[in-house]
Structure 1
Amino acid sequence: MRFLFILLIFSCTCFAQTNSYHISFENAVHHEANVKVKFPDLEQEDLIVRMSRTSPGRYALHEFAKNVYGVKATNSKGEALSVSRPDPYSWRITGHDGTVNLEYTLFADRADGTYSQIDETHAHLNIPATFIYAETLEARPVEVFFDTKAHPEWKIATQLKPEGGNRFSAPHLQYFMDSPTEISDHVVGKFDVNDANIRFVLHGPATKEEFEEYFDKVKKIVTEQKAIFGELPDFDFGTYTFLACYLPHASGDGMEHRNSTILTSSRTLEEGGMAGNIGTVAHEFFHAWNVERIRPQDLEPFDFTEANMSGLLWFAEGFTSYYTPLTLVRAGIISHDDYANGLNGTFNYVWNSPAREYFSPVEMSYQAPFVDAATSVDPVNRENTFISYYSYGSMLGLALDLQLRQKGLNLDSFMKNVWEQYGKKEKPYTLNDLQTVLSQYAGENFSSEYFEKYINDSKIPDFDQLFKHVGLKIERTSGNAFFGTSVQADEDKLYITGNPQKNTPAYKAGLDRGDMIISVNGSEIKTEEAWKEMLANSKAGDVLNLEIERFGKIIKKSVKLEQDPTYKISIDEKASSKAVKARKEWLEGK
């Protein structure tokens, strides 16, 4: 188990073989930190240290070593040691006397759930992006001192164990890497749930009234999600910490950790964050159960040297995404109508995608190392080959919940069963384990059919029937004409900006990303407004004779418009009293 011996180690006094870190921020204005590390009691002749290439909760590679420079090493007497580079991510240190003292400069200027940002407002630290480590010493305890003398108003918020003053500890490398830290002049709200202390740390502009209003929503989210599982996880040191950084120069993100979460957004509470950021709170806290403790076996142990791949992200991330808006409606933060309307975007994205032809939800999960904040310079065909496992999984969770409710069961109880058998025991699960738990809960035939059709294959559940049972309606009655790809203006020119989806009118006509539209049916068209007006005045079956420019040549293309395939989901005002009752039970968690 990932953290089986954490509390045992924490109950003991750290012994001599502790790797210690010291980080200070004298040059924060230029986004630099000074980092010093001591590796004592070394037995190997050469010590190889490295920067991580991944970060807990992320599945793609991130080359943190690129932001480390000025590396130098000395022995216990302060004598310089030889430092060489065996590969782009590592440093080899030779000639030590059993102790290596390392020092380097870190550049950091991105506040999100993966990277670090250092400036005059804060030190927002994700540990893999900040600290060099020795892979051969990963079982050692870690101690870190956050030196805030250059910014005495800064306070430290982290899930690391406090050891007094600005000193904190972790039992080993895995826990250390999983412990983001926000150092700033922040405000803190606290409340107790049974034996757990829940802390909400906010760094960003907010009045006292705004913070209290937002914190009240956080309390409701915690309460609603606890009701699903019947209990909170056994948080280390009895504390869970939300680390919210809502600043104009932060990047929108959320990242779960064992006893904390990072929440970042460029929207302050005053500037749209009150409503716009709260969904991330619900999503990340649900991860305290689902992914942190109800954990896929193929993510154990987390590898800091290579990409981490799992075929279970449709459940780990996707079912968590299903519970995100469901938590908000149950907590009274959004209305039933808001919830129903909110289904539309994800529903249409998933079920109108041609990507289901190529990959099942399991295989979509395997794509995470290529899409989870990953970067590439070559064009890709995601419009036709990929559906986010967040979105796909949320629709599968929706379908399963509604299917179970027709049997007098529900997804809440299934999740609680998974928690009891795997999460609470911190026993990693497999795909077969999930199917087995569903068989135990809903019957073998039901479970086999669900996994065969929707998890190992890509079939569409009968949502007409499922929605009718809970008093929702789904329609495909839009009379709008459908073109099949995105079109945007650049100055006074109009371009196709996305790969046309397979079997859409634009795709069938042979249009492609980058084509410049010169005229439609003989009339010049240059703006998005003119394009939208033209489509609004068209109907299915109309033919658009386009003149386009591609690779410097003028080409003519004919596009036969089709009916808009978009689904519309809404509350059915004519639903039966039985369906209305079922909807209330579902959306109110009763």
Structure 2
Amino acid sequence: VDSADTTHLHVDMRLTDAPRTFRVAIAAHPEYNERFWRYVRNIRATAGASIVREDSAVWRVTAPGGGTTISYSMQLPPREPSVRGSWRMFLTPRGGLVGGYDTFMYLPDLEVRNPRVTIVAPAAWRVASALAPSGERRFTAPDQLTLLDSPILLGELREWRFTAGRALHRVYYWNAANTTPFDSVAFLTGVRGLAEETIEFFGGAPYPEFTFLFQDAAYGGLEHMNSVTLGAPSDQLARNPYGTLEETAHEFIHSWNLMRLRPSGRGGLDYRPNGQTSGLWWSEGLTLYYADVLLRRAGLPIEDSSRVTHVEELLERYLFNAGNTRISPERASLAEYAGGPEVLDGYDPNVHLQGELLGTALDLMIRRATGGRRSVDDVMRSMMARFSGPRGFTGADIENTVRETCGCDVSAFFTDHVRKGVPLDFNQFLSAIGMRMSVEWKPAVDDSGKAILDYRLRAGETESGAMRVYIMDPESGWATSGLRTGDELVSIGQQAVTSQAEFREAFRSMAIGDTVRVVFKRSGAVMTKDIVAAGFRVPDVQIRPIANPAAQQLQLRKAWIEAK
């Protein structure tokens, strides 16, 4: 890595005892496949060996001597127009994120034991990774999967350490230029409290060491077996040192629920798109459920003031997006990384949200059936104990574990709400704690009370450069006026639309009641629709106690509200 050239990084891949011919490839991440094979440049092999590209992400090497060095450069992808995703490779004169799926090739046909990595970077930079250190800026992994699952953070890093569950935890923070000072003591208190509560819940740490890779000027996060990359903008932390704790909890808990307790169909390395599974609703939804619950149990600050407020907000989001109530969580799981609305009849359900509400419903069902003796906690621990091996879990495994935990028939619940997509009637679950929800649909307005233009229209750039339409709700005015997900925009009103910026400008120029001419292409044919810009309605959910609850309802309500 050269701090003077942040457009490329260089990789030498030395192999010994290799067969005469073998393949190397760029693996596809199961969650965010960004096709980094597009950025491989100047690939070559040492004298006497040859290398030929067989497929977009695969090269065949012939090395008569039984070993060779493969050299290549990785061109850094175009910078994002706004804040960078924390999981994406980047380089700046102050450091960057490298390694993993974005940087390293692997050998798809061979078992590689104990691959080693040496980092050549500016002397002033620090190096942080979950990989095992084996010398100065040298690291070792037990296998190729671990190597690719262990990103490397470089540069001007701050470091803190603590022990939780007998495991060492390292916390690194990369400072961007002009970083804003923040309360690092409170920041670390939150991370440590989360780690301690999570490890206590699961009954121990599944790793000997864990590494948090926080980055300034970035957003989001990505889970790994023994580490996590997380965006933590310093200006946000200056306002609230706990401001990224909920995202941290989400990604950290994935170290158990997703990375070790894996849904069947996910796991291993593959250069082809992979990771499709019908169990993502559990892996994402229950992780979000526990990100909320465990932070409350730890007594740490959280955005929603109470569990009731949190569930009200979840239900509002659930009802607002028609895809959540039309598409089953299993079907939404399968489509999450395989096309989205275009393969779901134009709907765009949020499988994370569906799963969190399913977890909440299951928890209330189990508490009622067992008189509060058990909860979804027992299901999660049992799932971890039984299915965290290579096989993974299936939908039937979840259903059977819930049935065994509560001693009740849950077949109708899983048939209707997991496999068929029957909308959740949450009052039947809230009755367990003597509460009831009401829903009122109201016009969407801003803080001043002015009606808001229906924003359930998106546009994304395709590989060809066209701006493709994405409609969040096929029952919205945009869809009923004739637009479809997949249409390619030409213009909106007087504004040509060839970029995100132009799309946003065209959208900002509209007002409710305007008749807007939209020109688009569908199957190669140019079409025109005159669409009246309109507002939309949003649900307002209120959850309130019922009159004259039974003693058991009050008992269960108290434990549920306190997240016990």
1:529/1:173 CA distance change after superposition, 3 Å: closer
The aligned runs of 1:162-311 (5 Å cut-off) are 162-204=133-175, 210-229=183-202, 231-235=203-207, 238-246=208-216, 248=217, 250=218, 252-266=219-233, 268-270=235-237, 274-311=241-278
Shift of 1:216: 0.7
* Identity over aligned pairs, percent: 21
Q: Which residue of 2 aligns with 1:329?
A: 296
1:573/1:273 CA distance change after superposition, 3 Å: farther
Q: Which residue of 2 aligns with 1:159?
A: 130
CA contact (8 A) 2:165 2:200 kept: no
Question: Which secondary structure state, in structure 1, belongs to the residue aligned with residue 145 of structure 2?
Answer: helix
Matched, 1:457 2:420: yes
CA contact (8 A) 2:319 2:539 kept: no
- What RMSD in Å do the two structures reach over aligned CA positions? 3.8
The aligned runs of 1:318-467 (5 Å cut-off) are 318-332=285-299, 333-334=301-302, 337=305, 339-355=307-323, 359-370=327-338, 380=342, 384-407=346-369, 408=372, 409-423=374-388, 428-445=392-409, 447-467=410-430
TM-score (norm 1): 0.77
Shift of 1:571: 6.3
**Of residues 28, 33, 37 in structure 2, which corresponds to 1:61?**
33
Distance 1:365 1:126 in 2: 28
- How many equivalent residue pairs? 517
Shift of 1:36: 1.0
1:510/1:451 CA distance change after superposition, 3 Å: same
Question: Which secondary structure state, in structure 2, belongs to the residue aligned with residue 59 of structure 1?
Answer: coil
1:221/1:569 CA distance change after superposition, 3 Å: farther
The aligned runs of 1:497-516 (5 Å cut-off) are 499=471, 501-504=473-476
TM-score (norm 2): 0.80
Distance 2:354 2:33 in 1: 23
Matched, 1:124 2:94: no
CA contact (8 A) 1:489 1:527 kept: no
Distance 2:351 2:458 in 1: 31
Question: Which secondary structure state, in structure 2, belongs to the residue aligned with residue 414 of structure 1?
Answer: helix
CA contact (8 A) 2:113 2:144 kept: yes
Question: Which secondary structure state, in structure 2, belongs to the residue aligned with residue 147 of structure 1?
Answer: coil
1:438/1:465 CA distance change after superposition, 3 Å: closer
Distance 1:313 1:487 in 2: 25
Distance 1:571 1:95 in 2: 72
Question: Which secondary structure state, in structure 2, belongs to the residue aligned with residue 419 of structure 1?
Answer: helix
Question: Which secondary structure state, in structure 2, belongs to the residue aligned with residue 216 of structure 1?
Answer: helix
CA contact (8 A) 1:321 1:394 kept: yes
> Which one-letter code corresponds to 2:33 in the other structure?
L
Instruction: Deviation per CA, 1:445-502: give whole Å up to 9, x if none.
Output: 1x21221121112123331243354476533235537999427999xxxxxx863734
1:527/1:47 CA distance change after superposition, 3 Å: closer
> Which one-letter code corresponds to 1:452 in the other structure?
T
Q: Which residue of 2 aligns with 1:30?
A: 6
Shift of 1:560: 10
Q: Which residue of 1 aligns with 2:502?
A: none
1:516/1:116 CA distance change after superposition, 3 Å: closer
Distance 2:560 2:297 in 1: 9
Shift of 1:298: 1.4
Distance 1:557 1:243 in 2: 47
Question: Which secondary structure state, in structure 2, belongs to the residue aligned with residue 456 of structure 1?
Answer: helix
**Of residues 6, 14, 20 in structure 2, which corresponds to 1:45?**
20
1:486/1:422 CA distance change after superposition, 3 Å: same
Shift of 1:94: 2.7
Q: Structure 2: any 5+ residue segments left out of the alignment?
A: 445-450, 460-468, 495-505, 521-526
Instruction: Deviation per CA, 1:424-454: give whole Å up to 9, x if none.
Output: x565222211111112111251x21221121
Shift of 1:266: 4.9
> Which one-letter code corresponds to 2:37 in the other structure?
A
Question: Which secondary structure state, in structure 2, belongs to the residue aligned with residue 566 of structure 1?
Answer: strand
Distance 1:244 1:73 in 2: 36
Q: Rg larger in 1 or in 2?
A: 1
Shift of 1:258: 0.9
Shift of 1:93: 2.8
Distance 1:556 1:65 in 2: 42
> Which one-letter code corresponds to 2:205 in the other structure?
P
**Of residues 139, 147, 151 in structure 1, which corresponds to 2:112?**
139
1:265/1:575 CA distance change after superposition, 3 Å: farther
1:117/1:527 CA distance change after superposition, 3 Å: closer
Shift of 1:123: 2.9
Question: Which secondary structure state, in structure 1, belongs to the residue aligned with residue 278 of structure 2?
Answer: coil
Instruction: Deviation per CA, 1:493-539: give whole Å up to 9, x if none.
Output: xxxx8637344566556577879689xxxxxxx996994xx7xxxxx
Shift of 1:28: 4.7
CA contact (8 A) 1:302 1:308 kept: no
1:267/1:459 CA distance change after superposition, 3 Å: farther
Matched, 1:73 2:42: no
Q: Which residue of 1 aligns with 2:60?
A: 92
Distance 1:114 1:405 in 2: 38
> Which one-letter code corresponds to 2:213 in the other structure?
L
Deviation larger for 137-146 or 267-276: 267-276
> Which one-letter code corresponds to 1:186 in the other structure?
L
CA contact (8 A) 1:158 1:179 kept: yes
